[in-house]
Every structure is written in C-alpha cells, then in structure tokens.
Structure 1
Amino acid sequence: MTDELARARQRGFGHRVGFGRRPALLIVDFMRGFTAPERSLGAAMEAEIAEANRLLEAAHVIGAPVYLSTIAYADPGREAGVWAEKIAGLRDLVLGTPEVEQDPRLRLNGAEHILVKHFASCFFGTDLAARLRADDVDTLVIAGCTTSGCVRASAVDACQHGFRAIVAREATADRIQAAHAQSLEDIDLKYGDVLPVEEILAQLRNRAG
C-alpha cells in the first residue's frame, strides 16, 4: 500500500459497505466485441470469464437476479454521439451482429436479464435501477469489463442510486493493467467494496436455501 493510499484510509476513505439483504449479479459487457483479442475493442479475458462463471453458478443456485449488459446501436453515429468520436471501434457495435452478443463461454441458464446500453454505465439510459428496486435488491455484485470504463461507471452509479456495490476483483478485466489496478483502488476507496471472488461466493452461499 502506498503512503498516499494509507493516508486516505486513515482519513476515513474505504470503509466497508458490506452485503445487504438481497444481492443481484451484474456482468458488464462480456460481449464478443470486447472479449476477442483480435477485434478492435477486444482483449484476452478468459480467466476473468471463468471467475464470472463461478459467480453465475452461485447466483443461479440461490435464485439471485442476474443481469448482463451489452453496448449495441441501431445507428452508432447518432446514438453513440461524442463517445464514438473518442473511440472509433464503437461504430462496430451494431444491433444484430456477433460483436454485441454475450461471450459464448459464459454459462447462462436463460433466466438472465439482458440490458442494452449506449454508454458506459449500466444505469444510464436503462431501467436497471427500477428493476432492482422492484426485485427488492439492495446489493449489486459487479463483474465484467472494462474495469476502468463500464465497470467503474456502473459501480459509481450503483452507489449514487443507493445500492451496495460489490466488485469482484478476479472477475473484472481491462485492456490496460495499470488502469485496471488503479480503478479497483478508486472504487474500493470511494464507491463500493472490491472483494475476492472467493469471499463473494461465501457470502452468496450463506444465502442459499
């Protein structure tokens, strides 16, 4: 731990939010366009997908709601706006194409909810917050990619909407490891708890039955 990080924690940053009564799982953008290294927006994420599958299995066992997101546009030039000027590859994320499909390595059971979004946060421009409240969810376990982009934005918005954000350390991925590490530190200091997958699994299993 750096001196700066230790000083921040001494000053009251980084307290635990913990798990509440009812968790849901959110897997952010593990879509083909992001998880295939040969694609313009892609990177190797096999290990992180494997860890996300462990969370999926546990969520399925306890009947926790599961949400998966994808970024997809009918008209990228219009719907992505300035973001597509910043990231050219967003123009490849067209509805109905393989780029926007969930990675086939995810072990889904068909009961998951799919969110289609146009920007980084899974809350922005979607009904995710309303769905979570309708399901009496107060804790959102977050996995997916990228840690410094859509995962971080979703964790920030989860906090802002009043949900306890729990980010799964080994089940989040980024194209740039320095950005990944810094974003996890930032989330853990300010917006939610960054926990090992094993610790999250223990919490979920305690809710079985």
Structure 2
Amino acid sequence: MTVTLIDNDLVIGELQLGKRPAVIAVDFSNGFTDKESPLGGKFEPQLEANLEIITAATESKVPVFFTTVVYDNEQQASVFRQRLPALNILQRGSHWVDIHEKFSAYANHDNIIEKHYPSAFFSTNLASKLEALNIDSLIITGLTTSGCVRATCVDGLQHNFLCVVVPEACGDRNQPAHAMSLHDMHAKYAQVLPLSQVISYFKSL
C-alpha cells in the first residue's frame, strides 16, 4: 500500500476506488445555485462539472443521489436556522428547494434525499438506500465545500464508505474555506481526485 505525507499532516494510505460507487450531489437546489438567493453564489462552473459527472455516471449505470434541504415547520433544525436565518427560505413547495433544472433529466422522487442539516446522512434514509444497492464508495460533489459537502464526506467515512471528493464539482462562497476544506478532507477523510480521473473511472467500470 502506498502512503503519502501531505505537508505537516499525518501519513495517509492510498485507497483503491471501489467497484460499486454512487454519486452524492449535495444541495444543487435553487436555494444554493441561484445567485439571487441569500444562500446562493456564482456556481455555473460547478453545475457544468456536475452535469458531466452525472451524465458519465448514468451512462455507466452508477447510481446518483441528489440532496436538498427542506423545512416543513419551525421546529425542524431550529438552532441551525437561528444561526443561519437565510435557511428559512427553504420551505417545502418553494422554488428554492427544487433541484436545479440542469439536472431535471436525472433527478426524481426516488433519488432525491431531503434533509434538515448539513450532512446527507443525518436523519435521512441515504445510508439504507446505499446499503440496499451494495455501494462501496461515494463520489461526493456539491455546495458548499466547507459546509454540507464536508459534513457528508465525514459521515460517509463514518458509515465506512470510501469517499472521493471532486474539487471542480464543489463550490463555496468563501474560497479560502473551499481550499482548506478540500485539504482537510484529503488529509483525513477522503481522496480529492480531479474530474478527469473520476470520468475515466466511470468509463472503466
């Protein structure tokens, strides 16, 4: 097994990509992709990168899951929402919770995971869906890198999935936080691999 030392971080082992991956596209809802949203930003390059990933995954019969934050009442994630009041726009039935139209050909009732918190795993049925499909590894993309992507990556590892994060397919309103989060995930919880390598991986399955 190859090991690598990243700057002053711990020695890490090289992990082999799994044979049964799934894509977790985190929070590509209008609330996060629309620059007019208080939660949004300019993420067009990330949207295009994800379309490339999701198209390649679908062609290789790799399952794809989308997450969206949805609230039905004031009690759900009340402390989180008090800390970040902009989350209150994410009400069920609103335009803000819908997955971006760029992915309309791929998102459906069965592969959209509704959540109240940053992680795609916390209090959702994502883990059981992945287990039912015998998934062994996750390709994680999404918004934002330092928030919901990182939380999903950490929880993915804690469910013992091999996690890969694709930097071109993740975005953040804070660029230093984006870079630091990618560094931190690669140093401890995941492999950060370029878009081109992930596409080649799908084609090899």
> What TM-score does the superposition give when structure 2 sets the normalisation length?
0.94
Of all paired residues, the percent bearing the same amino acid is 35
1:54 aligns with 2:52: yes
Equivalent residues in 2 for 1:50-199, closer than 5 Å: 50-75=48-73, 77-106=74-103, 108-110=105-107, 113-199=111-197
Residue of structure 1 equivalent to 2:7: 6
Cα shift at 1:7? 2.2
Which 4+ stretches in 1 moved above 4 angstroms? none
For the residue of structure 1 that corresponds to 2:178, the secondary structure is helix
Gaps of 5+ in 1: none
- Tell whether the 8 Å contact from 2:99 to 2:107 is kept in structure 1 after alignment: no
- Tell whether the 8 Å contact from 2:23 to 2:57 is kept in structure 1 after alignment: yes
| Cα root mean square deviation, aligned | 1.4
Cα shift at 1:107? 5.5
- Tell whether the 8 Å contact from 2:136 to 2:161 is kept in structure 1 after alignment: yes
Question: How many angstroms apart in 1 are the aligned matches of 2:106 and 2:100?
Answer: 14
Residue of structure 2 equivalent to 1:33: 31
Cα shift at 1:16? 2.6
Q: Aligned residue pairs: how many?
A: 200
For the residue of structure 1 that corresponds to 2:14, the secondary structure is coil
Cα shift at 1:110? 5.0
Residue of structure 1 equivalent to 2:200: 202
Aligned residue type for 1:96: G
- Tell whether the 8 Å contact from 1:28 to 1:145 is kept in structure 2 after alignment: yes
Question: How many angstroms apart in 1 are the aligned matches of 2:139 and 2:189?
Answer: 13
Question: How many angstroms apart in 1 are the aligned matches of 2:99 and 2:192?
Answer: 24
- Tell whether the 8 Å contact from 2:70 to 2:92 is kept in structure 1 after alignment: yes
Question: How many angstroms apart in 2 are the aligned matches of 1:55 and 1:78?
Answer: 36
Cα shift at 1:108? 2.8
- Tell whether the 8 Å contact from 2:66 to 2:107 is kept in structure 1 after alignment: no
Residue of structure 1 equivalent to 2:41: 43
Question: How many angstroms apart in 1 are the aligned matches of 2:82 and 2:115?
Answer: 17
Aligned residue type for 1:31: S
Aligned residue type for 1:97: S
Gaps of 5+ in 2: none
| CA pair 110-34 structure 1, distance change in 2 beyond 3 A | closer
> What TM-score does the superposition give when structure 1 sets the normalisation length?
0.92
Question: How many angstroms apart in 2 are the aligned matches of 1:18 and 1:165?
Answer: 11
For the residue of structure 2 that corresponds to 1:188, the secondary structure is helix
- Tell whether the 8 Å contact from 1:56 to 1:107 is kept in structure 2 after alignment: no
